[in-house]
Amino acid sequence: MGCIVSRKHQGLSQISAQPLRLKTREITITPGTFLRISQSFLYNDYKELKKIGSGAFAEVVLCEHIPTHTERAVKKIHKAGLCQQQRDPVFMLKEIQILKTLDHPNILKCYEIFEDDLKYYVATEYCSGGDLFGEILKLKKFTEAKAAEIMFQLLSALTYCHEKSVIHRDLKPENVLLLGEDGNFTVKVADFGSSCMLDKERRLHGCFGSAYYVAPEVLSNNYNEKCDIWSLGIIMYILLTGRPPYSGKDTETILNQVKVNPLVITPFKVLGLSKESVNLLQMLLSLSPSARISAREAVKHPWITLHRESHNDNSIEIVLKTLKDFTCESKLKEAVHIFLASQVISNQELNTIRKNFQLLDKDGDGKITRSELMNEYTKTMNYEEAKIIVDDILVKLDQDQDGNIDYTEFLISCYDYQRAMSHDHLEIAFKMFDTDGSGTITVDEIRQTLQDGQIAEDDAWQMLLKEADSNGDGCIDLKEFVALMQNIQNFPQQSSNKVVETAPQI
């Protein structure tokens, strides 16, 4: 059972009540990242730079990922410190098993996992902007436009999680990481150590979370996914008012206030805010979970959509053309594209792609639907023409065949192919496939590296080898690999740099 740890507070600078669990940056794993779980030695590929966080049973260090020359955060988790709820029956981290299903631009991405007898090592993207708690301390309070931008990203991530029956249970500013600087950042939901899968037939039990942000019903040990909505309501309240929701100086006092006299939003309490923002706060912080707004409803609230629409521009035409023009007939090339995009793409390029993705994701649920694509293409062509184009896009990009374009599926259509197909980047990919360092790669090594990718059929692996093995020796050397990948006649001619230059500012 989870619990809430005692900690004294002194005003806004102390609004973070830390839970009794791993107090470090957590991870998510998306289907397109080709997660590698390995017992090989971590430091073959990673060089420690500095320590950036620690907790009772874990620490986080900033590392250089040697093959890609990029910075990553590596979390070292002591196995002895994990409680039973954080493990599945074979003692893998429970959160990893849950989050393998998530693929969203506002959820922290994991690259790979290592383990030895004593620890797990989890390599994630490095969020150089710190966390939202630090931004709150710096700015005190946010404009409504900035708060709405943050809340949209959080609500979009939460909509996606809840529709996959994943409940976070510990949302707070410290668990919201930031990519970027000077106020222009992307929000990343992190720390899924308390998360769980919701059973629609049962209510949840166990007291998880942090004092200021915990929903009243959690203290009664009977709750569902709406506990996350309450936590986001408290975050929004703090962003807009610059003050904590309760006056208590210690966890026990705060929890008593949450249980006996929980926060109630009235126009008096949020004097100076717009009616729309107060309305959303009231809906997020409804005392009755059944009356509380859902994440899907909240992400479409007028206060959110007003600020989203104010930043839209005409760049959607470029995005639609990029999707229409994309083609890739080779399964190996397609797999390597996703692998490279997930491993070596720059944060600047990712930021542009995220904005383009969310420009098309009108309802903010973390996926682009057939209906959303049809609505855009029928603005410039008739229904039958649009249907042909949309059907073709889904055939090419909808790899899991769920009828939608997920974030990673969208990613491979938009990143800079010319740069990715450079000899340097292909050599990086080749060395990461060459797990035994032999100088050649085999079908088994490709399978091992892409085991969480999109190629599942056994026959497909042999087809990959036949496609690339020009001399018929049963292996693929670097020259054969580069020759195959640099045959880019099937790639779109338009450079994604044009998309970068006219990126929509969402």
Q: Which residues are annotated as a binding site for ATP?
A: 76
Half-sphere exposure of 331 (CA within 13 A, CB side): 18
DSSP state of 466: H
Other CB atoms within 10 A of residue 249 CB? 13
> What tokens appear for 112 in the block?
């790979």
CB distance 244 to 269 below 8 Å: no
The CA distance from 53 to 62, in Å, is 9
The CA distance from 105 to 187, in Å, is 9
Question: 444 an active-site residue?
Answer: no
* Amino acid, single-letter form, for residue 468: A
The CA distance from 243 to 231, in Å, is 15
Which residues touch 504 (CB under 8 Å, ≥6 apart)?
A: 311, 312, 313, 315, 316, 355, 356, 359
**Residue ranges of the binding site:** 76
Q: Which of 170, 416, 469, 477 is catalytic?
A: 170
DSSP state of 38: E
CA distances (Å), 132 to each of 66, 113, 140, 364, 481, in order?
A: 29, 26, 11, 21, 43
* Closest alpha carbon to 209 in 257, 237, 167: 167
| 200-207 LR contacts (CB < 8 Å, sep 24+) | 200/165, 204/167, 205/1, 206/1, 206/2, 206/85, 207/1, 207/2, 207/3, 207/4
Which residues participate in catalysis according to the annotation?
Answer: 170
